[in-house]
Amino acid sequence: KATGHMKVKGNTGFIARDDQRRLLRVSGTDATDFLQSLITANVETLPDDTVRASALLTPQGRVLVDFLISRTDDGFMIECDAEQVDELYTRLRRYRLRRPVDLTHETGLSVWIIWGSNDSPDNLLPAEAMRDTRHPDLGWRLLAPVGASANAPGSDAEPTSLDMWHAVRIGAAVPQGPVDLTPERALMLEAGLDRLGAVDFEKGCYVGQEVTARTHYRGLVKRRLAPFILADATATTGAAITDDGKSLGTVLST
């Protein structure tokens, strides 16, 4: 559900719209079973008032598209990067076959983020806010009609640049594709998506499950995504990280 005015009361921190995100609706009588057999997260246990990280993998366990998923009245809403929404839509349609599942682009809603507050979601009125479960500092996400204003009457949240939220995300080591998760190259566990709740090792089969589970249970993760601070220099995405000529990694989000 969404509203045209995001009226917020109390000490609610900051608010920004994320114009780089797109939405897909998944509905129909078989929507739950369909997604449960495909994606890494457990949609059967997904609470109504949260968004959960998830991904669609290749059979070899590489990340194709990472996304956030939440419940709707008739199914689920998937939120992913604008560069990847068509790819995700095409892949889901390919797996759907003739199952009673409807896949649609949701173009009437936009994504807003509120963070930097200890207020309860009950104080976010009248829009419905969903807790971003990847990390406590990432706040809540709101789906509101395109054209809704952050400066609605009575709003105490301070409109600001989305770059401020991304700084929080990067500091919390929360990756977001495609910049941090190169499609068909990134591995779930190396990127730390397991600690963000994006994968359920108990739920059963999904695409790429065998490789992901084997890596998890054998402890074969050799690399990890990590945040770092440069005191006297700047870095650009894709730059090499070295120490006395030894390669340590690559810069992702900055």
CATH code of the domain containing 102: 3.30.1360.120
Residue 235 lies in a domain: no
Is residue 42 within 8 A of residue 185, CB to CB? The reply is no
Is residue 36 within 8 A of residue 203, CB to CB? The reply is yes
Peptide bond into 126 cis (omega under 30): yes
Residue 252 lies in a domain: no
Residue 75 lies in a domain: yes
Give residue 119's pLDDT: 56
pTM of the entire predicted model: 0.86
Give residue 233's pLDDT: 65
Tokens of 86: 């068509």
DSSP tag of 86: H
Range of the domain at 119: 1-227
* Residue 60 DSSP SS3: coil
- For each successive 10 residues of the chain (254 residues), what is the average pLDDT? 45 84 98 97 95 96 96 97 98 94 96 78 58 94 83 61 94 92 88 91 89 77 69 70 70 64
Number of separate domains in the chain: 1
**Largest distance between two CA atoms of the chain:** 58
Q: Which residues contact 58 (CB under 8 A, 6 or more apart)?
A: 64, 184, 207, 208
Closest CA to 58 of 192, 215, 181, 208: 208
Q: Identify the H or E element spanning 87.
A: helix 85-96
Residue 144 lies in a domain: yes
Give residue 138's pLDDT: 95
Give residue 3's pLDDT: 44
Tokens of 100: 């009673």
Task: Note the residue count of the chain.
Answer: 254
